[in-house]
Amino acid sequence: MRRLSERGILIAVLLTALAFVAGSGARQMSVAQNSGSPTGTIEKVFSHSNKCKRCHERVFEEWEASPLSRSIHSPAFRASLEAYLAFSGNKDKALCFRCHAPHINEYEDQAQLFVAQAQSGDPTIDGVACSQCHLIKQVDRTKHLPKLKYAPGKTLYGPYKDFVSNKAHDSMDLELFRKSALCLNCHFAVPAAANLGKANDLLGDWENSQAIKSGKECQTCHMPEQVGESANGENKRKVANHSFPGRIGKLRQEAAKLEVVTEVKGAQTTVKVTVQSLVPHNLPTTHPGWARVVLDLTIRGKNLNKVYGEQRVYGRVYADAKGQKTVFDFQASKVLEDTVLKPEETRVETFTFPTPQDTRSFDVEAALSYAAVTGPQAFLQRIEAESSKGAQDPVFQPIPIVKKAVNVPLS
């Protein structure tokens, strides 16, 4: 009788435990349903790009070499995220990821997971990859900040009408994938600096550019058409390149043109450099906040020694709430200075300097480059510490755009 009583107690305890677990599961399900998150884990709903590689090897290799593949991996992003979280007091942990890992829009309640993944330096989830783009069904442009709308499921969207049926997923042709609107969720404005209004625009008046009026879209330059396989083994056809050239890649060499005119008047020389932007958007686009394009003028005299140098800087200078300059747009409360080259703008810069002496000629060198990262010393040190390349990380190096050199004879 005593043993039966003990058994009864044991059964009662087990039933109570099972009821607790079931109740806990029900509560978790209720939270998931109320959060608006799609059914399933992040990894299941937004498949990792490694799975796509099995059938789309060409696309994967192009994407892997692009900046998009490092959207939450890069040392600069991790250091910036740390600075943002410290500044914001953790008010909106999801904010940076709305562009750097846009599927967070479906998992707002798991923002801390995204933060931890990025901070690890070796995230197991993607930032901007295959499913983060090809599950987009709509981009809402009714408000100042465009917002993408996902349709999580087995259907992937794209620009091809002649897609090949397969067992991995369904495919659907969507006009959005042939339009610039697809890119606007991340490349139109920075949510963190929304209080700046139009002063926060990254692209400028791009929709009225000659390029757009002639029928070009973002994809024309940043996903150029080529001939190849869309999926392994398919017949070759016209496909989109997924290396996303821009600041990185040869496309930047087509971003601007320089012309140099020199006038020598005795002991004084004037050089006029015409800078012509060839892109239908701001140059530079103004995120991150330290983004700058620099025009360097160098004069070389006898034995090619540098005898004069001067710069012009194109970008935005932000101020925080205390009026102090900041390179973090999430701290910005106003724009102190805006020298950005507007879409397809031509600007003439004038330099005056003493004519080089004791030489039959001198060289004028004009060079346009993307500037290296700038910011508080602690921030730069953090990037260096986060990078496997340390101080040799590419973010610390300027990126050449175009250069013009002329030799000027002296009578």
pLDDT in tens, 222-259: 999 999 988 998 888 899 999 999 988 889 999 999 99
Mean per-residue pLDDT for 319-327? 94
Say which range, 113-117, 177-181, 236-240, has the weakest mean pLDDT: 236-240
Predicted local confidence at residue 37, as pLDDT: 58
Question: Is it the case that residue 36 has pLDDT exceeding 90?
Answer: no
Question: Is it the case that residue 124 has pLDDT exceeding 70?
Answer: yes
Question: Is it the case that residue 14 has pLDDT exceeding 90?
Answer: no
Predicted local confidence at residue 281, as pLDDT: 97
- The residue ranking higher by pLDDT, 248 or 340, is 340
- The residue ranking higher by pLDDT, 21 or 189, is 189
Question: Is it the case that residue 35 has pLDDT exceeding 70?
Answer: no
Q: pLDDT band at residue 200, thresholds of 50, 70 and 90?
A: confident
Is the distance from CB of 383 to CB of 373 less than 8 angstroms?
Answer: yes
Is the distance from CB of 68 to CB of 100 less than 8 angstroms?
Answer: no
Predicted local confidence at residue 89, as pLDDT: 65
Question: Is it the case that residue 287 has pLDDT exceeding 50?
Answer: yes
Beta strand 147-150 with 155-158: parallel, antiparallel or unpaired? Answer: unpaired
Say which range, 178-182, 227-231, 302-306, 370-374, has the weakest mean pLDDT: 227-231
Q: Provide the 10 A C-beta neighbour count for residue 225.
A: 10
Question: Is it the case that residue 11 has pLDDT exceeding 90?
Answer: no
pTM for the whole structure: 0.86
**Residue closest to 315 by CA, chosen among 345, 285, 344, 343:** 285
Predicted local confidence at residue 277, as pLDDT: 98
Is the distance from CB of 380 to CB of 411 less than 8 angstroms?
Answer: no
- Four-way CATH pick for 253-409: 3.90.1150.10, 3.50.50.60, 2.60.40.2360, 1.20.120.530: 2.60.40.2360
Question: Is it the case that residue 38 has pLDDT exceeding 60?
Answer: yes
Structural domain spans, the chain: 49-240, 253-409
Predicted local confidence at residue 39, as pLDDT: 65
Q: Residues 213, 218, 221, CA angle at the centre, nearest 5°? A: 100
Question: Is it the case that residue 91 has pLDDT exceeding 70?
Answer: yes
Mean per-residue pLDDT for 3-32? 37
Q: pLDDT band at residue 97, thresholds of 50, 70 and 90?
A: very high
Question: Is it the case that residue 22 has pLDDT exceeding 70?
Answer: no
Say which range, 70-74, 111-115, 235-239, 275-279, has the weakest mean pLDDT: 235-239
Within 8 A by CB and 6+ apart from 198, the residues are none
Predicted local confidence at residue 198, as pLDDT: 72
Mean per-residue pLDDT for 333-341? 95
DSSP 18: H
**Residue closest to 273 by CA, chosen among 304, 306, 314:** 314
Q: In angstroms, rounded to a whole number, what is the distance separating the alpha carbons of residues 277 and 290? A: 20
Question: Is it the case that residue 30 has pLDDT exceeding 60?
Answer: no
Q: In angstroms, rounded to a whole number, what is the distance separating the alpha carbons of residues 213 and 49? A: 35
Share of the chain above pLDDT 70, in %: 90
Is the distance from CB of 135 to CB of 46 less than 8 angstroms?
Answer: yes
Predicted local confidence at residue 144, as pLDDT: 80
Instruction: Report how far apart the first and last C-alpha atoms of the chain are (Å, whole number).
Output: 122
Average pLDDT across the chain, whole number: 88
Q: pLDDT band at residue 191, thresholds of 50, 70 and 90?
A: confident
Question: Is it the case that residue 341 has pLDDT exceeding 60?
Answer: yes
Backbone angles phi, psi at 313, to 5 degrees: -115, 135
Helix (H, G, I), strand (E, B) or coil at 6: helix
Within 8 A by CB and 6+ apart from 181, the residues are 139, 141, 146
Q: pLDDT band at residue 90, thresholds of 50, 70 and 90?
A: low
